[in-house]
Structure 1
Amino acid sequence: MEKFVRSVMQRLMVHGPVTCGKNLRLGRNSVVSSLHGLTIGDNVSIGQRTVIEVDGEIGDLCLIGRAVQIVGRADHAIDEVGVPMAFSTWVGDRSSRNEDVVVIGNDVWIGGGVIILGGVKIGHGAVVGAGAVVTHDIEPYGIAVGNPARVIRRRFASDAEREVHSSALHFDR
């Protein structure tokens, strides 16, 4: 019964060319959509009221908190002379660009209320603290906080610990 409920919820909350791996957990009132393509890995958990509207990838074993927004930074053209923004070129009316894509590595934890803008890569094993606004890449195993988010430390003390962790989870660091 639980699998049936999850599959129905997924059909209601996932839109566009989105490929979902095994064991996707979607919180209530979440929306996942893409215009040009999004791949979500295995064993990903997405919290309640989260909105994901980008192209790109979300790796395996990711935790995405409540009320997270992962959105494009160039959804509407702002430089079309004589055209009101309401009528400007929309991301769905053009081909995908780098600033439309978000890549989230494996084993990433994104805290509640985080905003991630398009064109960003979050490395394997990173942690993004609640309420952060991510406008630039986050290094693998970095712990990032603030607005704009910046890495304040690393998850593991040494490269050897990072290697052991990566090997145990079977992904590249």
Structure 2
Amino acid sequence: MDNYFESPFRGVTLDRQVTHPNLIVGRYSYYSGYYHGHSFDDCARYLLPDDGADRLIIGSFCSIGTGAAFIMAGNQGHRHDWISTFPFYWMSEEPVFTGAANGYLAAGDTVIGNDVWIGAEAVILPGVRIADGAVIGTRALVTRDVAPYAIVGGNPAKVIRRRFEDRLVALLLDMRWWDWTDDQLRAAMPLLSSGAVEELHRHWIENIRPV
């Protein structure tokens, strides 16, 4: 694919892509898989179809970079606390493995908040929760929960800094702009595409906040 802007994988919102029952996405979130040449289906690894299985939940207005991977299905039967990490139980076609115990352990839902930016080829491990407004660096390995508006990177991922000071983060979490209607977003778009958090908060109080 020579033309990025003609790629079928450029900025297609996830609500127009996903069909898996355990993959839940909010509005306007997108995956841009241009450089890897695949859709978001290839990013959700080992996502089980069963009722009650761990889910991948992605909020609204998330930007997910090419090649990002969400590792699902808990430990997939590999137990590092047992003598062997080999998943004997899941190789039942081999007679020698008869009688093996099922080592599968669920990790719980993997939850990505709203307005999260996940860089290219980042890897998110099972059961991790990434809070609203966080940024995940390119090729980061996220092994634990990420706080609101934190920027993390590395292997394993660690906090580099916060996007805003605590006082401004509290304002952003208070007004939850990602829940606003399309008309409300349109009216606030000049502020949303700026760093004027306090001004946006005043706009919310004066025009949007429920009485």
Partner secondary structure for residue 88 of structure 1: helix
> What residue identity is the alignment partner of 2:170?
E
Listed as ranges, the gaps of 5+ residues in structure 2 are 1-7, 48-54, 92-101, 180-211
Distance 1:86 1:47, change over 3 A: farther
User: Is the CA contact 1:73–1:117 (under 8 Å) kept in the aligned structure 2?
Assistant: no
1:146 correspondence with 2:154: yes
In structure 1, the residue matched to 2:24 is: 39
Question: 2:87 pairs with 85, 88, 111, which one?
Answer: 85
Give the CA RMSD over aligned residues: 3.5
User: Is the CA contact 2:140–2:154 (under 8 Å) kept in the aligned structure 1?
Assistant: yes
Identity of aligned residues (%): 31
Instruction: Deviation per CA, 1:53-110: give whole Å up to 9, x if none.
Output: 3413100000000000011263521248899637528xxx9x993x152100000000
Superposition map of 1:1-173 within 5 A: 24-25=13-14, 37-48=22-33, 49=38, 50=40, 51-53=43-45, 54=47, 55-72=55-72, 74-79=74-79, 85=87, 88=90, 97=106, 99-159=107-167, 161-166=168-173, 167=175, 169-170=177-178
Structure with greater strand share of residues: 1
Instruction: Deviation per CA, 1:22-52: give whole Å up to 9, x if none.
Output: x7259xxxx9675x62210000111214512
Distance in 2 between residues matched to 1:106 and 1:121, nearest whole Å: 11
User: Is the CA contact 1:76–1:88 (under 8 Å) kept in the aligned structure 2?
Assistant: no
Structure 1 residue runs of 4+, over 6 Å off? Answer: 80-83
In structure 2, the residue matched to 1:17 is: none
TM-score (norm 2): 0.55
Distance in 1 between residues matched to 2:143 and 2:118, nearest whole Å: 14
TM-score (norm 1): 0.66
Structure with greater helix share of residues: 2
Instruction: Deviation per CA, 1:112-159: give whole Å up to 9, x if none.
Output: 010001110000000000010001000011000000001111011232
In structure 2, the residue matched to 1:4 is: none
Count of aligned pairs between the two proteins: 141
Distance 1:155 1:40, change over 3 A: same
> What residue identity is the alignment partner of 1:117?
L
In structure 1, the residue matched to 2:193 is: none
Distance in 1 between residues matched to 2:123 and 2:69, nearest whole Å: 5
Distance 1:87 1:67, change over 3 A: same
Structure exhibiting the larger radius of gyration computed from Cα positions: 2
User: Is the CA contact 1:32–1:52 (under 8 Å) kept in the aligned structure 2?
Assistant: no
